[in-house]
Structure 1
Amino acid sequence: MVNTINGSLSSEFAKFQRQLVTDYLAWQAAIVREYKRPDQFITQNFDLEWHGYSFGIQPDVDHFAAAKALDIAGLLSHDFEPNPVYDEAKTIGKDFDRLSSKLINLKKKNDVAILFSNEALTAFKAFGFWLEHGPVIMMYYVSFYDGLYHMNVSCDFVDPTSKNIEDYKLLVVPLLYAAPDSLLKRLNAYVKNGGHIIYTCKSGFADENVKVRTTHQPGIIDEACGIYYSQFTEPSNASLKVDNWNLKPEDKKLNTWMELITPTTAKVLAYYDHPVWGKYAAITQN
């Protein structure tokens, strides 16, 4: 039950709740480790967002922090009985054991990462938008992941606490609605030092207390993006106006949200095809 219309207050309480989950799992795991055998591991039914099935990112638990208490996450269900996922994990473990001499020191390094933030997820719940078939923020994450997958580009997931953000060549940053100045400045520095970022709408809009920034939007990252905007709207019948992209008419249709962008140093890749908003940019590159 939500007893406040104050997005800043509800977001802060959600952060407190996430910490309770992290502390509780760590407390449980510490007790189990006192009694378990050296060959036993600790696992947990660690589910994701629920969309009729496990879907996207868990918005109510801090994935990275909570998972530190576990050896292996979501293998067993509530009945604690072996299941196909558990059996598959055992098979993989045996394969690793059999091939360990050939796999030792083997590393897989991804050049692309998707940045997600529980703080942004919570804030967006208060001030975001929905699609008919579910929460749009998860659709954003999944659509970018699917796009990378279909291009055979493997990626990692990182959050603002990750120490290795600067190691990637490309960061995808969907809907970073709420973020402290320090994170946005860190992302600006990443770009200045040669990194590439794909930002979506709503990024940089509010600080960590879900207070809307009183500067040009998109806040501090306008330096890296080379754009600003002060107005936004729902697309209605708008579509993309773009040349040489070989898009079908249905692929140019917009949905959910439009930010009416004015470039400063950025190059316009696509405008809006609309009688009033046609002068504004839809996609830019800086």
Structure 2
Amino acid sequence: YHPSQYDLTGYEITACGNIIRSLKDDNYLILETEAQGNQAWLPFPGQLRLQAYSHIGNGSNSVMYWHWHSIHNAIESYWKGVLSHDLAENATYREACVIGNEWKAIGDHIKNLKKVNRIAMVLDNSSLTGLSHFPTENNKECSYNAVFRAFSDALTDMNIEYDVIPADEAYFYESAQDGAADTASRSLRYDLVIIPALYSAKESYLNAVNSYVEGGGNVIASFKSGFSDEYLKIYSDTQPHIINKCLGIHYDQFTYPKDITLTYSCSSSADQKHAGAYRTNEAEGTFSGKCTEWMELVTCDSAESLAAYDHKYWGMYSAVTLNSYGKGKAAYIATLPEKNTMVQILSDLLERIDLKEPAKLAFENHDKLIVKQGINDKGSHVLFFLNYSDEEMTVKNISGDAADLLQAAPVKKDESFTLLPWGVVILEY
């Protein structure tokens, strides 16, 4: 369930879908989602269909609505179903019929969609509990989810797909081959692991993070990571505990950012291809953005400082760092940047890490365009182009000759196609 109309972003569909798809390590079912929903969420024409294809593009094999018809008494009387209280056909019902008829025609091409992601984000319930008791400035009991969503929403804006994994070192690697249990004999499952606010962490896991980076993996960790053990007892040595080794930093003080910004220096080779409209001061190679919720006063040991706080007293400390450690790299974000700044930072870090995903097809990036992709039962690549705006959008097909599944028409390489407001195009390669 999520806002609709002009507040429809696709963020919740992506974050929650990634969690359950990764938990199953397989496709999943949407057993319940909004139809008309509450009064503020009545979808604009096309949005019900857009949401449905967003679920399928994320790896779901179904969309089911709560509920069939709006009920006539009790607490959810105004939680509207597919049908309104008069039980008659309406716009929502007719749009649901469109979705069903389309799936009859193309369902075999879009079901059982498999993802091959090389990026994962850690999700940890103990850290959620810890930050509910020891929160950031304004997010209070939602502090952990707010940090997780800040990274998730930024990746969604950048059209970077990711899996969600627990704080368990086994998920860094592919299954052991030939009975080999040691990590040196196992290939990496992910090239980049993002660790947002891992407040509660076992020492064995923190040591495994060091080993993962040393062996060629890459990490982006945020503030409040490695701060306490699995029982929420704060570690009594250098922070962040143990992973300061791969991060090449330390800190011992933190505060709330009061009207504080950071200035970030971009890589000279970075073209910020994921940042879209968010890039600023391109000629100078820097950008600035507001810090929110929390800030740690980080000192670099072996790490390079990529961003500093714009502040009379805290300006000597780093807000974002990057360290080479063994065969990999480890970045640290010591504050919660505002949304646009987070996109810019992650975009530059991905360029510096030189992350590549050879199993993915290339596509044109546009603001408010979400692209999801996977491999279907036929072994074909399928790309879902999802227009999360009320403006028509023209996109060029840059990956090769394809078939437009919804229009049953060919789309040649370098040919452009049009997405209507809140529209969907699905290309099979």
**TM-score, normalised with respect to structure 2:** 0.45
Q: Determine which structure has the larger strand proportion and give its number.
A: 2
The answer for the alignment partner of 2:138 in structure 1 is 131
Q: Deviation at 1:109? A: 0.7
Alignment match of 1:214 (pick from 236, 245, 267): 236
SS in 2 for 1:253: strand
Deviation at 1:131, TM superposition (A): 2.9
Describe the SS at the equivalent of 1:177: coil
SS at match of 1:198: strand
Q: 2:31 aligns with which of 74, 83, 93?
A: 74
**Structure number with bigger Rg:** 2
Greater helix share, structure number: 1
Aligned partners of 2:100, 2:293: CA distance in 1, in Å?
A: 44
> What CA RMSD, in Å, does the superposition of the two structures yield over aligned residues?
4.0
1:267 to partner: Cα distance: 0.7
- Structure having greater relative contact order (Cα 8 Å, sep ≥ 6): 2
Counterpart check, 1:224 vs 2:238: no
Q: Pairwise mapping of residues 88-107 of structure 1 onto structure 2 (< 5 A)? A: 98-99=108-109, 107=114
2:115 to 101, 108, 118: 108
Number of the residue aligned with 1:13: none
Name the CA shift for 1:269/1:118 in 2 (closer, same or farther; >3 Å). same
Distance 1:116 1:92, change over 3 A: farther
The residue identity in structure 2 corresponding to 1:226 is G
Aligned equivalents of 1:180, 1:238: Cα separation in 2 = 33
Deviations 1:61-113 (A, max 9, x none): x9699979x9735335666889689989977975686449xx99x84310111
Amino acid corresponding to residue 193 of structure 2 in structure 1: L
The farther-off stretch of 125-134 and 162-171 is 125-134
Kindly provide the CA deviation profile for residues 14-69 of structure 1, in whole angstroms up to 9, marking residues without a partner as x: xxxxxxxxxxxxxxxxxxxxxxxxxxxxxxxxx89xxxx995978xxx9699979x
Amino acid at match of 2:160: V
- C-alpha deviation, 1:163, in angstroms: 3.8
Ranges in structure 2 where 5+ consecutive residues have no aligned partner: 3-7, 33-63, 70-80, 83-91, 174-188, 268-278, 324-429
Label 1:199 to 1:88 Cα distance change in 2 as closer, same or farther (>3 A): farther
The CA distance in 2 between the partners of 1:99 and 1:65, in whole Å, is: 22
Contact 1:67 1:73 survives alignment (8 Å): no
* Equivalent pair of 2:22/2:165 in contact (CA under 8 Å): no
Q: Does 1:265 align with 2:302?
A: yes
2:150 is aligned with 1:143: yes
Could you tell me which runs of 5 or more consecutive residues in structure 1 were left unpaired when the two chains were aligned: 1-46
Aligned residue runs from structure 1 range 1-286, under 5 A: 72=29, 74-75=31-32, 76=64, 98-99=108-109, 107-131=114-138, 135-161=142-168, 163-166=170-173, 167-243=189-265, 247=280, 251-286=288-323
Q: Equivalent pairs: percent with the same residue?
A: 29
- Determine the C-alpha separation between the residues in 2 that align with 1:263 and 1:214: 20
TM-score (normalizing by structure 1): 0.65
